[in-house]
Structure 1
Amino acid sequence: MTDLRVLRGGESSPTYLLLHGLGATADVWHGLTGLLGDASWEAPDLPGHGGSSSLPSYSFAGVAAAVSSLIDPRGTVIVGHSFGGVVGLHLAGRPGVLAVAGLGIKSAWSDEELAKAAAMAQRPAPAYATRAEAAQRHLRVAGLEGLMFEAPDAAVVETGDGWRPAFDQRAFGIGDPQVEALVAASPVPVVLARGEHDRMVPASSAPVALPGLGHNAHVEDPGALLALLSTPPLRPPV
C-alpha cells in the first residue's frame, strides 16, 4: 500500500481531486484551493513525489490505483495537470467520478522523446551539498522556475550524501500516455485545456485555451482555471 501525503480542505460536494504534474507536489494547487471557498478538495503528492512513498515500478494505471481511494463517492471532479491529467483519465470509470479536466496534457510522444525519458529514468538521483541547490533542481524538473520561488518542505530530502529532490526519477520512464484512447473510452465528460502559450501541447490536442498562459497555467493564474471549473460539465448541477 502506498503512503500518500494529502492536502485537504472544504466540505461541500462535489469534491475536486487535484493531481499535479511530473516532478511537482500537491503544493502547486495552493492558488486554486484558496479560491474554492467551501468546496471540498483533496490534493495528493502522487507516488514517488514529495511526501508520498514510491512504487516498485511506474505505470499510469498503477499511479491511478494508488490514489483511487481519494475519490469521494458523493461525487468527484478530477483536475489533473500534465502527468496528473493522464492519471485522472485512468480514474474516469471509477464510481463517483463525474468529470475529468486535463490541463496541459502532452498527448503525442515520438519514439525519440520516449527513449530520452526512459534514459532519464535510469540515471541516479543527483545529490547536492545544500538544500537550496536541491530545491532549485526540484523547481527546474517540475517546470516551476520563476513561478514558485521556494520549494515546499516535502519536495526535498536530506540523505547521507547531501540533499536531493524527493522525486523518484524512475517515474520519467512511465511511457506513452495514449491519451486519445483514454478520452475515447471515458464514460464521463472530459475537458482538455491548455495554456495558450504552452509549447508542449499543440492546440489540436486541447480544444480549450486559457489566454496568455503557459504549461503551468494553474500556477500562473489559478483564477483562469477556476473559471473553467465553474462551467458545465465540470460544474455539475446541484
Structure 2
Amino acid sequence: MDNLYVTRGGTDGPTLLLLHGLGATAEVWEGVTPLWPGRWVAPDLPGHGHSPALAGYSFGGLAAEVAGSVDGPVAVLGHSLGGVVGLALASGWFGVPVAAVCGIGIKVSWTSEDLAKAAQLAAKPSRLFASPEEALDRAAKVAGLPSASIDSRLVVEEEDGWRLSLDPRAFAVGRPDLPGLLGAARARVRLAAGETDPMSPADHLRTLVPDPVILPGLGHSAHVEDPEALRPLIEELLSAVT
C-alpha cells in the first residue's frame, strides 16, 4: 500500500515515475502525462501536498518512501529535488529497477549561504495567510512555479487561515552528492534544464555530464511552462524502458 498520496494513469505499457521539485506537488505533471503512452505514477513527495511528513529529510529517505509506490522496471522523470531522488533510485539501492532517469533543473552549485538559508527556512514554522490567494502566491514562489490554481494541493486551510502544505523541514534535505549519485547510477542518465534556469545553468551541468539538454527559452519549471518541449526527453526515456 502507498504511504504517499499518489496519482496514477494509463493502463498498459511501460511505467513512468514522475517526481516533482521542492515545494510543489504532482499536479505539476498534468501537461506532461499526455505525452507518455504507457502507465504513469506521480506521488506527492513526503511533506508535500497530501503526503505525510517525515521526522527528518534526506535524499535516501525520500527515495525509500517513493520506492513503495512503484515496481519495476520504470523510467523516471524528476524536477529539481525530484531529479535527485530519481538519481538515488537509479542506484538500485531501493529495490526499484530503473531503466533510465532524466533530471530537469537540478541545482548543482551550492554555496555556504545557500545552505544557511535552507537551514533557516527549515527551522521556521509554517506561516498562516489570511486568504488562499495569498498562500497560493507564496507557495508558487517557493516551488518556482509560474502560478497556482485555487484548488491546488499546495495549500491547506487551518482554523485561523491558510498555510503551505509543504513541511518547512524539507528544506533541510541539504546538498546532494551529485557526482556520487551519477557514479552509482545503474541506469541511463540524462540531465536537462531550461535555458534561463538560474538554479541549473548549462555550464554547471557540464561539470557533471558533457551533453546536458538545454531547453530554449524556458526557465526553472520548464515542464510547466511548456510541457511539449519535453517530448524528446520523454521519447528518450520511453526507448530505454521498452
Name the residue aligned to 1:216.
221
Give yes or no for contact 1:20–1:26 (8 Å, CA) kept in 2: yes
- Cα deviation, 1:183-233, whole Å, max 9, x if unaligned, reads 1111111100011111111213332111111110111111111221212x6
| Counterpart residue type for residue 81 of structure 1 | H
Name the residue aligned to 2:140.
139
| Counterpart residue type for residue 224 of structure 1 | A
| Counterpart residue type for residue 235 of structure 1 | S
Name the residue aligned to 2:81.
83
* Matched position secondary structure for 2:240: coil
Name the residue aligned to 2:232.
227
State the distance in 2 between where 1:237 and 1:15 align. 8
The structural deviation recorded for 1:57 is 0.6
State the distance in 2 between where 1:199 and 1:40 align. 32
The structural deviation recorded for 1:71 is 2.7
The structural deviation recorded for 1:110 is 1.1
Name the residue aligned to 2:209.
none
Paired positions, count: 233
* Matched position secondary structure for 1:61: helix
Name the residue aligned to 1:22.
22
- Cα deviation, 1:53-99, whole Å, max 9, x if unaligned, reads 000011111011011022332x2001100010001111003342101
Could you list the runs of 5+ residues in structure 2 that have no partner in the other structure? 206-211
Could you list the runs of 5+ residues in structure 1 that have no partner in the other structure? none
| Counterpart residue type for residue 184 of structure 1 | G
The structural deviation recorded for 1:152 is 3.9
Name the residue aligned to 2:165.
166
* Matched position secondary structure for 2:17: strand
* Matched position secondary structure for 2:68: helix
* Matched position secondary structure for 1:154: coil
State the distance in 1 between where 2:165 and 2:18 align. 19
Sort the Cα spacing of 1:237 and 1:68 in 2 relative to 1 into closer, same or farther, 3 A.
closer
Q: TM-score, normalised by structure 2?
A: 0.91
| Counterpart residue type for residue 18 of structure 2 | L
State the distance in 2 between where 1:141 and 1:166 align. 11
Runs of 4+ in structure 1 deviating by more than 4 angstroms, as ranges, are none
| Counterpart residue type for residue 35 of structure 1 | L
State the distance in 2 between where 1:192 and 1:237 align. 17
* Matched position secondary structure for 1:117: helix
Give yes or no for contact 2:128–2:163 (8 Å, CA) kept in 1: yes
Paired-residue identity, %: 51
State the distance in 1 between where 2:2 and 2:56 align. 12
Q: TM-score, normalised by structure 1?
A: 0.92
State the distance in 2 between where 1:70 and 1:134 align. 29
Name the residue aligned to 1:48.
47
The structural deviation recorded for 1:2 is 7.5
Name the residue aligned to 1:102.
103
